[in-house]
């Protein structure tokens, strides 16, 4: 009985051993197969938090640099657009009209007769008409002709002054229109060039106004000067003629027949 029990126990242990060996072999067989396979083994993915954080920080810095570059390019593009606007010319131009106003007043000043605005011409004609008229070698008819010439010059000067004033007043409405259009163009200017051109044209309008005022004052001053010179010359000529009259033959009475007998 003991032998039979021991044999059964041995057989049980042997069976257990055989089953354990079979299980071990079945577990090691895939490992042996994998080790004998010439293909590389599949690597296991290992998560490294520190490396991941460094990579994320590098990506953020790279993205920030890209954003800075995009912003810089946008600023450069806007700068080019502003430069293009600053180089845009003003669509409104009043220079031709302003030049026309200058030419009108200049032409009127050129119409001044005899004693005009030329210094050499004024000196020559003034000496002949206002200084040398009382010389003793001039006859009475010549004195009368000189007086008539001075009167004509004075009247012509007053007419010329009236024309200059009329031109200056006539330009007031044109000045108002030009100033309004240039102010509108200046306020709607898209760049420095347009604003500068509008300002320059406004200065040109102002210069033309000053020119009109200067011409009007010059014409009025010329008329006043000629009139005062005419009066002074008339007084001197009157003294000359009175002196000649007193130095002439004395008056003698004579009979005059007024009615038929």
Average pLDDT of the residues in 232-244: 80
Q: What number is the average pLDDT over the span 230-240?
A: 82
Average pLDDT of 37-46?
Answer: 57
**Distance between CA atoms of residues 195 and 189, nearest Å:** 6
pTM of the model: 0.56
CA distance 76 to 71: 9
Other beta carbons less than 10 A from residue 83's beta carbon:
11
Token pair 């010549």 is found at 142
Q: What is the pLDDT of residue 94?
A: 78
> Residue 24: is its pLDDT beyond 50?
no
- Nearest of 179, 207, 201 to residue 90 by alpha carbon: 201
CB neighbours of residue 93 within 10 Å: 15
Question: What's the CA gap between 193 and 90, in Å, rounded?
Answer: 7
| pLDDT (0 to 100) of residue 133 | 58
Range of weakest confidence among 36-45, 91-100, 131-140, 195-204 = 36-45
Residue carrying structure tokens 């912003």: 71
Model pLDDT for residues 61-100, shown as the tens digit of each residue: 999 999 999 998 888 888 887 777 777 777 777 778 888 8
């Amino acid at each position: 009985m003991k032998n039979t029990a021991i044999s059964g126990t041995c057989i049980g242990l042997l069976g257990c051993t055989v089953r354990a060996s079979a299980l071990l072999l079945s577990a090691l067989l895939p490992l042996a197969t994998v080790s004998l396979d010439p293909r590389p083994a599949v690597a296991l993915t290992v998560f490294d938090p520190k490396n991941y954080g460094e990579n994320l920080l590098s990506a953020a810095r790279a993205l920030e640099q890209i954003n800075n570059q995009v912003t810089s390019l946008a600023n450069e593009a806007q700068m080019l657009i502003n430069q293009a606007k600053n180089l845009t010319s003003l669509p409104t131009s009043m220079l031709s009209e302003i030049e026309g106003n200058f030419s009108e007043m200049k032409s009127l000043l050129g119409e001044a007769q005899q004693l005009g605005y030329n210094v050499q011409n004024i000196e020559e004609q003034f000496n002949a008409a206002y200084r040398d008229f009382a010389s003793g070698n001039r006859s009475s008819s010549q004195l009368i002709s000189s007086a008539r010439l001075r009167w004509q010059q004075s009247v012509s000067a007053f007419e010329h002054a009236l024309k200059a004033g009329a031109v200056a007043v006539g330009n007031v409405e044109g000045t108002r229109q030009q100033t309004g259009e240039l102010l509108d163009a200046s306020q709607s200017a898209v760049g420095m060039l347009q604003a500068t051109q509008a300002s320059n044209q406004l200065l040109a309008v102002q210069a033309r106004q000053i020119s009109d005022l200067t011409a009007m004052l010059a014409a009025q001053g010329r008329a006043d000067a000629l009139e005062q010179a005419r009066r002074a010359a008339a007084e001197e000529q009157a003294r000359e003629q009175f002196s000649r009259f007193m130095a002439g033959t004395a008056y003698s009475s004579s009979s005059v027949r007024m009615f038929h007998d």
